[in-house]
Amino acid sequence: MIKLKFDSKGIIPVVAQDYRTGEVRMLAWANEEAVKITLETGYAHYFSRSRNSIWKKGETSGEIQRVVEVRLDCDEDALIYVIEQEKNRACHTGKRNCFYRNIDGKEVEKPLPFEALQRLQEIVRDRLKEKPEDSYTAKLASKGFEKVAQKFGEEAVESLIAILKGDKKEILYETADMFYMLTLALELRGIEITEVFEELIGRMK
């Protein structure tokens, strides 16, 4: 393993980045022992500067972080824990990540583009589970998978027509509809968007 460059206090900053969505979940610190335990156990461990001790993320809250990979920056003085967040709430405030406010202090709920499909799947999953009366997703799914597949086919054709016509606004609108229907169909088949992306990554040469 590369020799990490800990600061004068023997710690190094660690960014926890979600493997599935790509979002930054939190920033914490780790000493050499915390990094070692993380690598040995596969669960994120950090060093608390206030308590002067190592802690396992989620040990009391249940919000554990399974570590998929550990990456380091070019100067070898900062780390990324690429993690799978157990209960989807990484922040002690109950938010999904610690970076839920902008520089003005206002809460930001809007996902960034790279996490859009994964976050959409989360919403679809919630609608299917909770079945709100006003949910289009729940109503469509209740008609059976064949109806969902039919709607996906329709949106795919409409997207193709829009692309052939070349109208950018129409292309964006129809393609977004198609992505929604595809996401719903995949969810009903028990397939994660991340699994599709992993398949694409496997084809990259």
> What contacts 24+ positions apart, CB below 8 Å, involve 33-40?
35/4, 35/70, 35/79, 38/67, 38/70, 38/81, 39/1, 39/67, 39/70
Q: What local confidence, expressed as pLDDT, does residue 11 receive? A: 98
> Could you tell me the two tokens for 124?
């679809």
Pairing of β 45-48 and β 53-56:
antiparallel
Whether residue 70 is found in the same domain as residue 129: no
Q: What local confidence, expressed as pLDDT, does residue 173 receive? A: 98
Q: Which residue range is the domain that position 61 belongs to?
A: 11-85
Number of H helices, E strands in the chain: 6, 6
Q: What local confidence, expressed as pLDDT, does residue 167 receive? A: 97
Q: Note whether 4 and 29 are within 8 A (CB).
A: no
| Residue 18: pLDDT band with limits 50, 70, 90 | very high
Residues 126-175 have pLDDT tens digits of 999 999 999 999 999 999 999 999 999 999 999 999 999 999 999 999 99
Number of domains forming the structure of the chain = 2
Task: Tell which residue, 2, 21, 22, 8, has the closest CA to residue 72.
Answer: 2
Position 119 in a domain:
yes
Whether residue 149 is found in the same domain as residue 191: yes
- DSSP conformation class of 157: H
Q: What local confidence, expressed as pLDDT, does residue 192 receive? A: 97
Whether residue 80 is found in the same domain as residue 118: no
Position 94 in a domain:
no
Residues 62-89 have pLDDT tens digits of 999 999 999 999 999 999 999 999 999 9
Whether residue 147 is found in the same domain as residue 184: yes
Whether residue 129 is found in the same domain as residue 81: no
Position 198 in a domain:
yes
Whether residue 62 is found in the same domain as residue 142: no
Q: Note whether 127 and 138 are within 8 A (CB).
A: yes
- CATH number of the domain at 151, please: 1.10.287.1080
- CATH number of the domain at 49, please: 3.10.20.810
Q: Note whether 177 and 158 are within 8 A (CB).
A: yes
Whether residue 127 is found in the same domain as residue 195: yes
| Residue 67 CB neighbours (<10 A) | 20
From residue 201, give the alpha-carbon distance in Å to each of 122, 150, 205: 22, 28, 9
